[in-house]
Structure 1
Amino acid sequence: MESPDVVFVLYVEFGKHFWDSYCESITILNTEPVAWYFTRRIVHTNPYYTELNVNKRPYIGPTSTDAELAFYMTNFCKIHSESFVYDPFVGTGSLLLAAAKHKAICFGQDLDIGILQGGYSINCNIPRNPDKNVNKNFTHFNLSTPELLCGDNSKPVFIHLPDGIFDAIICDPPFGIRAGAKCLGPKASRMDKYNKLLQYMHDNRDDKDIRKRCYPMTKPYPLQDVVYDLFHTSAIYLRLHGRLCFLLPILPTTSYDALPTHPCFIRKYACDQIIQGNLRRTAITFEKILPYSHDYDIWPSSQKELPTPDWVITREMIFNTKSF
């Protein structure tokens, strides 16, 4: 029926929202509905975030975050026009697009220079397309472009910035499911080549173009290290009561008590999104409640020595068809 006078809507609720004993907001999704709502539509408008939908952007990638989820994350972090926002895995800029829509000042980092420059192809004979890059996504929607930096989450390039400079840190870290994480450093099998490269760069250090011809080596970056390094960076560079929000893949059997945390933070929200089958990801939001102390410098390394937590083995469970 076209242009009906009255529209009836049926809503099905699969989630249950409650506060746990630590006054933290938790949302649990069930496979069976917990409630049904049959009602009459009074008014309907298109959500404001639809103008930033993935299919409307000039530059996207296989891991670009959808606009709705990106705006949820910016709301979780209370991002507004005076916020300074950082995304350490900026990719094609999906999360910073939502932050820029709130008129926030945005700063992004990614290790893959090809993604930042955009328009690249596996075939080196194909020239770059100047209209396919991260900044083009922002100018396309008349938004302020972010400051972008090629860098490594495990080795922040802004170590000389003052502590507590960011109001919010939002990101979608690579999980190793659709995109594998990498960090700077050589694989054990390439140490000889790595040492030769260092020697070559040292011998030609007066050559101004040496860095254009030499790219740093990378190695696999385990999810456990990604999260702990992210916490460590956030503990230093987030202001007090600033917020950190990131996505993490989990299974229905994953306990919320087992989710990662840090002494400087308190968990505020954990909201699940079902992807397919048993696979889901949760948007975890933390608030920084304690100032950073150098006593926490050894925290990342100490956590990596502990037994592997449940949320780390999600990838192995996914690719093990017998257990997934």
Structure 2
Amino acid sequence: MPTRYLFVFAQAHVDFRIPELVSIAELNGFAIIFPDIPEERDPTRPFMILGLEEDEHARILARRCILVKSIYQFYARGSSYEEMHERNRDVRSQWSQYIPDTSFKFVIDGYNRSITQSRQREIINSFSYMAMMGKIDMNNPQIILGCFEERAFHSRRTSKDPALLQVYFGRLIEEGSARSLIRRFDVKRREYFGNTSMEAEMSLLMANQTLASPGKLIYDPFVGTGSMVYTTAHFGAQVFGSDIDGRQMRGKDKQPGIIRAATQYGVASRIMDLCTFDVTNNPWRCGELFDAIVTDPPYGVRAGAKRLGRKKERQFLQRSTCPQPNDAPYIHPTKPYELSNLASDLVVLARYMLKPGGRLVFFLPTVTDEYDQLDIDSMLCEGMTVIANSLQDFGSWGRRLVTIRKTTTAKFSVPSFDADSIETGHVPAHKGFRDKFFQGFRKDAQDTAEAES
């Protein structure tokens, strides 16, 4: 029978918690038992009680999951301290082994209200019935017992204490250590970065969604300044990157910027190569190469997506036979790459390039008031299934981290990307996102733009 564990989460990116847990569990070959009651698996709450087969599984999650602060073996909970203590007495068999000679300490913490030191002492004294005979050791105890208050949200302007929702109690299994990586990969500390670099915490979450690990081969087709390269390589994967603009990958020094930053993180040996090409005119001539594709496609707010071609077609002009100055190479013109077309093309490319069971992980910006699940479903093709869809909310707009699994073993030909779009009868909220963003997502401006087009 699975053992129940109390998960304490960091208060960030609540919509990403469950997908991250499920991904790391899948990577390591074990299952997580989630509560049947929807309220108890609400990702917005800071605590969640989950079932695992053994303590080692809890340690694996705590060491890899970015959003986990700590994991405790769950003993008891209640809507009041009295109820929690009563239930803790009922499970005496789970903690009685530590009574005789185990050094210990208590950790008392609260959510939505800080707990004073005097109140912490009162709470610790309320556990006197456990009759722990071991030494109290605040520096290196053999076990740590944690008690947590969860209180309702309240305005700081009111003098009343927020209502107590639940009290949790358990024994520490593992402190979350992966969160320290956020500081290590902080963009401000990076050797090379640009104005489109992904923030460290989010790039780590994306890396976890790819199931990055030693022996995996992962590809970023819009690599830019390499934010996803460093984190996936940190977890042991070999990484390949490409971009239509080689200047972003190179930087201005002799050594490519991405390689400089990768050297800073000790993962330069895991960067297989960096190439400049347009994904719609790519050099790939065989598929099923990669275990995962991870990327943050450009969507026009800070840098617009481009593909080879001209903005306006022109009549054929006979090329001059005169030599170019200094025998300069021909630079192909580019044209804007509409986000809705890019997203659909990315899914088709992933189906061709991923191994069966591989994952495509990418961000998709959406307009909050217009978003519909059909926006994502309409971009799917045969053999590709959405397994996670997490929102980072910015108010009037947000970006969704979409994880799609290749569920087919069928072989597919090289995608052509000739058609600008496939008419499905549905206009996704991310179509024309750049224009909507700079118009402030005003409905009247969008209607005018649609009428003019």
- TM-score calculated relative to the size of structure 2: 0.55
- The one-letter code sitting in structure 2 at the alignment partner of 1:136 is R
Give the match for residue 280 of structure 2: 154
The Cα of 1:203 is off from its aligned counterpart by: 7.8
Asked if the contact 1:232/1:300 (under 8 Å) is kept, the reply is no
Residue 60 (structure 1) shift: 0.7
Aligned residues: 284
Greater mean deviation of Cα atoms: 177-186 or 312-321:
312-321
Could you say which residue in structure 2 is the equivalent of 1:251? 367
Cα pair 2:292 2:360 within 8 Å, conserved: yes
Q: Which residue of 2 aligns with 1:173?
A: 297
| In 2, Cα distance between equivalents of 1:18 and 1:52 | 23
Q: Percent identity?
A: 25
The separation in 2 between residues aligned to 1:95 and 1:10, in whole angstroms, is 22
Q: Is the 8 A contact 2:367 2:398 kept in 1?
A: yes
The partner residue of 2:407 within 273, 278, 289 is 289
Cα distance in 2 between the residues matched to 1:116 and 1:10: 33
- How does 1:83-162 map onto structure 2 within 5 Å? 83-119=216-252, 129-130=253-254, 133-143=257-267, 144=269, 145-158=271-284, 160=285, 162=286
Residues 33-71 of structure 1 show CA distances to partners (whole Å, capped at 9, x for unaligned) of: 965773568757552242111111111111101121111
- Residue of structure 2 in register with 1:23 after alignment: none
What letter matches 2:266 in structure 1? N
| Correspondence list, 1:174-189, <5 A | 174-188=298-312
Post-superposition shift, 1:83?
Answer: 0.7
Q: Which amino acid aligns with 2:232?
A: A
Letter in 1 for 2:373: Y
Contact 2:293 2:361 in 1 (8 A): yes
Q: Deviations over 1:94-147 (max 9, x none)?
A: 00111110121110000112112212xxxxxxxxx3356111110111112341
**Structure 1 stretch displaced more, 280-289 or 138-147:** 138-147
- 1:102 and 1:309, CA in 2 relative to 1: closer, same or farther beyond 3 A? same
Coordinate RMSD, CA, aligned: 3.4
Cα 1:241–1:34 change in 2 (3 A) is: closer
Q: Specify which structure has the bigger relative contact order, considering alpha-carbon pairs within 8 angstroms and separated by 6 or more residues.
A: 1
How many Å separate the matches in 1 of 2:437 and 2:264? 37
Residue 430 of structure 2 aligns with an amino acid whose one-letter code is: W
Tell me the equivalent position of 1:225.
341
**Does the CA-based 8 Å contact 1:86-1:169 persist in structure 2?**
yes
The change in CA–CA distance for 1:238 and 1:217 in structure 2 (over 3 A counts) is: same
Q: Is the 8 A contact 2:309 2:333 kept in 1?
A: yes
Distance 2:223 2:10 in 1: 37
Q: 1:246 to 1:13 in 2, by over 3 A?
A: closer
Does the 8 Å contact 1:156/1:233 carry over to 2?
A: no
User: Measured at CA, do residues 11 and 140 of structure 1 come closer, stay the same or move farther in structure 2, by a change above 3 Å?
Assistant: closer
Matched, 1:305 2:441: no
Q: Is 1:238 aligned to 2:354, yes or no? A: yes
Q: Which residue of structure 2 aligns with residue 123 of structure 1? A: none
Q: 1:195 to 1:225 in 2, by over 3 A?
A: farther
TM-score when normalising by structure 1: 0.75
Give the direction of change, closer, same or farther, for the CA distance of 1:103–1:303 in structure 2 (3 Å limit): same
Cα distance change, pair 14–100 in 1 and its aligned pair in 2 (3 A): closer
SS in 2 for 1:318: helix
Cα distance, 1:304 vs structure 2: 2.6
Other structure's SS at 1:301 match: coil
Indicate the SS of the match to 1:213.
Answer: coil
> Is 1:264 matched up with 2:368?
no
SS at match of 1:306: coil
Q: Show the 5 A alignment for 1:27-66.
A: 35=45, 38-39=110-111, 46-66=179-199
Aligned-pair distance for 1:14? 6.4
Query: Is the CA contact (8 Å cut-off) linking 1:270 and 1:282 kept in structure 2?
Result: yes
Shift of 1:247: 0.3
CA distance in 1, matches of 2:45, 2:274: 45
With over 3 angstroms needed to count, the CA separation of the structure-2 counterparts of 1:11 and 1:188, relative to structure 1, is: closer
Contact 1:229 1:300 in 2 (8 A): no
Return the offset for 1:316. 3.3
Distance 1:101 1:140 in 2: 11
* Alpha-carbon distance, 1:226 to partner: 1.0
Rounded Cα–Cα distance in structure 1 between residues aligned with 2:404 and 2:13: 26
Counterparts of 2:203 and 2:423, CA distance in 1:
33
Relative distance call for 1:101 and 1:295 in structure 2 (3 A) is closer
Deviation per CA, 1:209-265, whole angstroms, max 9, x where unpaired?
A: 85x532111111111221122112111110000000000001223122331322221
CA deviation map 1:66-89 (0-9, x unaligned): 121111111112111111100000
Aligned to 1:26: none
Structure 1 Cα separation of the partners of residues 398 and 196 of structure 2: 15
Query: Kindly tell me: are residues 10 and 298 of structure 1, through their superposed partners in 2, closer, same or farther at Cα, counting changes over 3 Å?
Result: closer
